[in-house]
Each structure stands twice: as C-alpha cells, then as structure tokens.
Structure 1
C-alpha cells in the first residue's frame, strides 16, 4: 500500500476518483480541501489499488466505498504496517466488512459508533406555508453570534466544541445563514463548493423554537443559495433514527442515497 502525508500527492492520484462521485464522497472531498488549504495536521493517506483511505490524527480511518474482499486486503495491509487504528468510518457495508477483517486479524473488539444517512437534493420544494421571517446570510460581524450558536448545537448533539478553538474546528470554515423573525430562530451552514458539491451542515433550531417550520425554511434558503452558486450536488446528513428531520428533508426535496457507519476499536 502506498502511504503519504502529502495531500497534494494524494489528490493527484485519487482526486479524479473522488470527484467522479462528489455526493457520495462529500466528507473526503471537504476534508482534503481543508487540508490542502490549511496544511496537513498529521493525516496519513493510503491507496491500495482502487481502495482509498485516510487516517486522521485521532486514529480513525475513513474509507471510500470498496468491495468486501478489498476491505479485507486493506485491513491486512494496515495490520502489516503496524499502524494502530481507533476506528473506521465508511459506507455501512464497507465499514462492516473492514471491521470484521480488523477484528479477525487483530483480536480487537469493535463497538458501533456514529451512523448517518446521506441525502442528495433532487427538486427543491419550499415548505408551505413559509413561516414568518426571512433568511440572512452571515458575515464577519456576526462571528460571536455564530460561535454561540455552533457551541449550542454541539452541546445538543453531544459534541465538544471549545469556543476558543472554533476557527480550527469543523465549524470554522463554513458559511452561515440565520432564519430571523425579531431575532435569529434557526441556523444552517454550508461547506465551500468542491467538485460541484456543497454540503448543508449543520442545521439547528433551539428546542423551544422547534415545530414552527424554521429549520425547513433556513435549509431551503441555504440549498437555494448553493444551487444559485452553481452546485450540481447539494447534500446533507441526517440521523437515521430522527424520523422528524428525515421526513422534513424529504418534503423539501432531499433523497436518501447512502448510509454511513462508524465503529470504535478497543
């Protein structure tokens, strides 16, 4: 297996494949673009024939989709290299096959972790009726308010976010929009376009303001802005167990295309 810490070298060899299916590869594309612009943070990139992966500093391995037999070969390579892994994240079947191979070869136990559903925008359909208020794209003067909302969102979903490290976090390089009445009532963000793809992430409405249609309205506003910017693929992730949000996104035009699963290795 070829390993490198040079993101430019990895993109030169693997970029065409990732860009060939930008919706499915939304996370690798945005992660690699951030590393390309800001410099590598210790991420190691690997390629074994058509199997593409990268290991983050946390030890978690992210895989592009591959057949089960390639997952087994890739696991064998990582074991042979002696690189420890704390977990894996990939499409469900790929993650399951790799985890089984890793467990068989190392004896490590594996615990199911994150599970998300990926949706791609079909025909954008604004909700009816549109709730009171309007969308407002945010800029530098709103930074303090954005950080506060991101911190509240992170706490709501069980993530840790240090406001002092916000710029280096997964929130720091996104573009934010509020839905506002007398003040902000919902927030949505989007990634910078890569390979014609923009991901809507995160979407957040404080608990006491839910049920008014604000999340749908701000998601439609951000999605329309992505289309207006020329995006050919607009995507978002949901929690598969959240029936309310999944139904909302389907109503406004998002179609499920894949499920991703993470496993944590002991």
Structure 2
C-alpha cells in the first residue's frame, strides 16, 4: 500500500484516525500533536506547514522545523516512507527502535547521509498509582495566567537540560494554560516543581514537562508533582495515563516505576546531518 501525504490535519485524521485511536498509548504523541494542531492552528509548532502521512500499517506527523514522528509500522513500510520523503529537508525521525533503523538505513541508501542516534526514550503506562512515601512537603495547584512567565522560564531551562534548543516555549505554555494543563507544586507558598498533562485523546492523557529547578531537587518534589497531575487525570476520567522518560536518566526511570508506571515501548531519535 502506498503512503498518502497531505498538509491537512483533517484529511490525515480521516485516513489515519482509526489506526491511531486503536492504540492510543503507543500513538500518544501523534494523537496529542494532531489535537493541538486542530485546537491551536497549523503554526503552533513553527512557521512551516505541518506534513502528515498514513499507510495501511503506519502513520507519521512532521511539524517543521522538527523531524518526523513515526508510529509503529513494519520495517518495509518505514523504508517506503523514506522513499516518499526523499528530496525533502528532513532533519531526523523519532520512532520505535526497529522503525527508526529501517527508515535510517533506507535514507542512507537514498541520500548517502548516515543518521546519528541523539536520544532514546522509554514510554511508560500507569498500572496503579502509588504515591511516594514519605510524601514531599507542600501541595499542588493548577497553574494560572499569573504563572506564565515562571513556566516559560522553567520550560526553557528544561529544554536546555535535555540538550534541545528551546522552541515554541511560550506557545507550549499558553496551550497548557488554556485548559488547565500545568500543575505547580508549592512548598511554603513557593513554586518548586512543575508537571504538565496533555488534553485527553481517545481516553489517553500524557504527563509531560516534569521539571524541578536544581536548587529544589532531592526533596521529592518531582514525584509529588507527577503524582498530583496523574491523580488529576484519573479523576477527570482518563483510561490511560502515559509518560516518557529519557533512558539515560536512571533517576527519573526509577521514580516513575515507583509511582506505578510500567515500561511499554522504547523509541529513539535519529538526526540526519545536513
């Protein structure tokens, strides 16, 4: 089956929506990105027009200047997608490991460019929420408009710690504030940690942007913020709560497993040097 490529999110969801919703946990990023594009417009992630594609066995989304996000798919479909995207200014892809490898191998054959693995992430799904013991001091609250500057500053620092160049940080914060999607953990009235959550999509929500500034670390605040935002998602009716952790960070991976999250899938990001 050939790949269908479009710049219309509605056309993409008409063609790929059932495929994505059938496995909302594994397709969490594609679902939440397309939902944000529908809610906030095509320029929310950058000036370039988004590109979408679907196949009988897979789907992808690209929001320039970022690379493409690929779903699980057979290696042959990944190689066919590389052929379909050859000639574009694709800077990289993010996908389950075998998918990334198949795409990168075909991309190298077509372009002569060797991909470089720049990140490995592990997807977790909540099984049963287990609050940290002992509990951190303080309490969580939903962030509001008055917290915008603080959140933008923390998101910028968070992206830089991940080795990323901050992009669309204000847009990300504004989107989350629009639906109460950011939580601040406060101790003695001072914000000390944050956590975010996506809009529901097919009964799934994703915890994201869990960050504690360096001066507030090692006090249990990240676990407390993650627990609070997870509980809020469950209370709001989420069927599945998921999150990603950098595989190179044993602290966060151990924390999420203590809170009741279990590994589901590993993904890797490959960049293609220009």
TM-score by length of 2: 0.89
- Which residue in 2 is equivalent to 1:11? 13
The separation in 2 between residues aligned to 1:222 and 1:140, in whole angstroms, is: 18
Does residue 159 of structure 1 match 2:167? no
The separation in 2 between residues aligned to 1:249 and 1:47, in whole angstroms, is: 32
Deviation, structure 1 residue 59: 5.8
Does residue 52 of structure 1 match 2:52? no
- Which residue in 2 is equivalent to 1:222? 229
CA contact (8 A) 1:121 1:234 kept: yes
CA contact (8 A) 2:183 2:225 kept: yes
Larger mean CA deviation between 82-91 and 191-200 belongs to 82-91
Q: Secondary structure at the match of 2:202?
A: coil
- Per-residue displacement from partner, 1:81-122 (whole Å, max 9, x unpaired)? x33322111111111111111112221121112211111111
Find runs of 4+ consecutive structure 1 residues off by over 4 angstroms: none
Stretches of structure 2 lacking an aligned partner (at least 5 in a row): 44-48
- Which residue in 2 is equivalent to 1:140? 145
Deviation, structure 1 residue 6: 0.9
- Which residue in 1 is equivalent to 2:175? 173
The separation in 1 between residues aligned to 2:262 and 2:213, in whole angstroms, is: 25
Q: Secondary structure at the match of 1:75?
A: helix
The separation in 2 between residues aligned to 1:237 and 1:59, in whole angstroms, is: 18
- Per-residue displacement from partner, 1:44-67 (whole Å, max 9, x unpaired)? 112233231223322622211111
Structure 2 matches for 1:206-245, cutoff 5 A?
206-245=213-252
Structure 2 matches for 1:246-265, cutoff 5 A?
246-265=253-272
Stretches of structure 1 lacking an aligned partner (at least 5 in a row): none
Distance 1:61-1:150 versus aligned 2 partners, 3 A rule: closer
- Which residue in 2 is equivalent to 1:84? 89
Does residue 66 of structure 1 match 2:73? yes
The separation in 1 between residues aligned to 2:195 and 2:271, in whole angstroms, is: 29
- Which residue in 1 is equivalent to 2:46? none
C-alpha root-mean-square deviation of aligned residues, in Å?
1.7
- Which residue in 1 is equivalent to 2:101? 96
- Per-residue displacement from partner, 1:205-259 (whole Å, max 9, x unpaired)? 1112211111111110000000001111111111111111111110010111011
Does residue 29 of structure 1 match 2:35? no
Does residue 116 of structure 1 match 2:118? no
